Amino acid sequence: MDPNEINEISLANSRFSIRKLYKEGLILKKPPKVYSRARVRLYKLAKRKGRHMGIGKRRGTKNARTNTKTLWIKRQRVLRRLLKRFRDSKKIDRHLYHSFYLRCKGNQFKNKRTLIEAIQREKAEILKKKTIADQLEAKRLKAQILRNKRKMKKDKEQ
């Protein structure tokens, strides 16, 4: 602003007159003010690390911040997807799948790892029962063969 032309500048009351003064060089346009986002970026990085997230900074309720229903839905989808994958790859049969599906629905497994561990335990138990049953069956057959041999021997003697 030229101090000698203050009178003329003060008379300017329309856009047109302001444009004219600008063109003549009596007034200048101020450069736009720059608001640095550096501090914001730093703050964001700190928040990503978990800073500034304490009890005093929280406004919404626990449920408003992370909805329990959506957490439940996500967990169910993860567990059910895993069960389907196991069933399709023949790692578990349909009966085991169904029992684990119901257990997932009943909130027995808090994450994927616990579900996998439970499946492995169940499979090991089933395998153990099967081997015991096979051994019993083999014993039974052996005893039956021995019985038949004794009977045949007895019949021959008579």
Burial of 143 (0-12, 13-18, 19+ CB in 10 A): exposed
* Confidence band for 4, pLDDT divided at 50, 70 and 90: confident
Q: What are phi and psi for residue 78, nearest 5 degrees?
A: -60, -50
By residue range, what is the domain housing residue 1?
1-30
Q: Is the pLDDT of residue 1 over 80?
A: no
SS (H, E, C) 56-88: HHCCCCHHHHCCHHHHHHHHHHHHHHHHHHHHH
Q: Are 85 and 150 found together in one domain? A: yes
Q: Is the pLDDT of residue 103 over 90?
A: yes
Mean pLDDT across the chain, nearest whole number? 95
* Confidence band for 35, pLDDT divided at 50, 70 and 90: very high
Please give the torsion angle defined by the CA atoms of residues 4, 10, 16 and 22, in that order, rounded to the nearest 10 degrees.
30
Q: Are 25 and 71 found together in one domain? A: no
76: domain CATH number is: 1.10.1200.240
Q: Global pTM?
A: 0.68
Q: Is 18 part of any domain?
A: yes
Tens digits of residue pLDDT in 119-135:
999 999 999 999 999 99
Q: Is the pLDDT of residue 149 over 80?
A: yes
**CA 77 distance to own-chain centroid:** 9
Q: Are 23 and 77 found together in one domain? A: no
Round to the nearest angstrom and report the end-to-end CA distance of the chain: 139
